[in-house]
Amino acid sequence: MDLSSETIDATARLLTDARRAGTMIHSLGNGTPTSNDEADAIADAHASQLGWNVVGWKIGCTSELAMEILNSPGPFAGRIFEGNVHPSGDVVHRPRPLMVESEFAFTIGETIEPRDGEWEVDEIKAHTASVAPALEVLSPRIEGFGKSGYLDVLADSGGNEGVVLGTPAAVSDALDLASIPVRCEVDGETTGEGTGADVLGDPWNALVWLANHLGGRGITLDAGQIVLSGTCTGVASVPVGSTVVVDYGPMGTVTATSG
């Protein structure tokens, strides 16, 4: 890495202070990462500075459109911190209008540890307790979210600020996530539509990717943690007082109001 440990810590501090204050910074300045390793190092330092429990992970850039928008070669991961998990129907208060994405949320049932060989989808399914319709709440700490590319977003924990969870469903072969239709509406107006297949062909592929990616970094996926798959419908803006409803067909709906 070209960035020194001092620069990484100072850059992470910018994100930490912004997250705590609910504000935004113009850029990462001299600490702008130029590689995945540097971006991960900043995100790791940010998490350490916060000292908050990690309750899950989000996966970004799991669709071709998202990869194109952020100029990313593939998916990336970001932490979800404690205190930011909401039930469906909740009023979500943020200092700025909500930005949300329609995602599948997996709850890990059995710890997934790093190992020499890669995890396969059947093994990951056996380690997963449930899957639910969900909204990812975005509140990036850097202005112009994603305009400078995916590395800034990766350093900023993927821009994650939380998650809204719908009713979980048990994992079963009868539940074909790739075929699930997803429609996002804000105040009754459709803002995006897709299917589970928009997430790396199948949301399970995203979870397998995360298990192997984190394993390669020596990081464990703990039982009880939540994993967000990546969006099926793009990003929707939810003005204060407005309500977002995402319909997942046979899996039900998930909803939140911007407060």
Q: Which fold has domain 53-258?
A: Fumarylacetoacetate hydrolase; domain 2 (3.90.850)
pLDDT surpassing 90 at residue 80: yes
Q: How many CB atoms lie within 10 A of CB 129?
A: 14
**170 — pLDDT class (breaks 50, 70, 90):** very high
State how far the Cα of 222 lies from the Cα of 39, in Å rounded to an integer.
23
Strands 253-258, 181-186: parallel, antiparallel or unpaired by DSSP? unpaired
Closest C-alpha to 251, from 130, 128, 167: 167
d(CA 136, CA 99): 8
Q: Is 146 left (phi over 0), alpha (psi -120 to 50) or beta?
A: left
Domain boundaries in the chain? 53-258
Nearest to 137 by CA among 15, 16, 12, 256: 256
- Give the model's confidence band at 1: pLDDT under 50 very low, under 70 low, under 90 confident, else very high: confident
User: pTM score, two decimals?
Assistant: 0.95
Question: Is the CB of residue 108 less than 8 Å from the CB of residue 129?
Answer: yes
Tokens found for residue 49: 């500075």
Confidence of residue 234 (pLDDT cuts 50, 70, 90): very high
CA distance to 23, 28, 29, 118, 190, per residue, from 205 (Å):
34, 32, 35, 13, 27
pLDDT by residue (tens digit) across 95-128?
777 899 999 999 999 999 999 999 999 999 999 9
pLDDT of residue 166: 98
Q: How confident is the model at residue 58, as a pLDDT?
A: 98
Kindly state the average pLDDT of the residues 11-26: 95
- Mean of the pLDDT values across residues 205-232? 98
- pLDDT band at residue 171, thresholds of 50, 70 and 90? very high
Q: Which residues, listed in sequence order, are joined to residue 101 by a DSSP beta bridge?
A: 136, 235
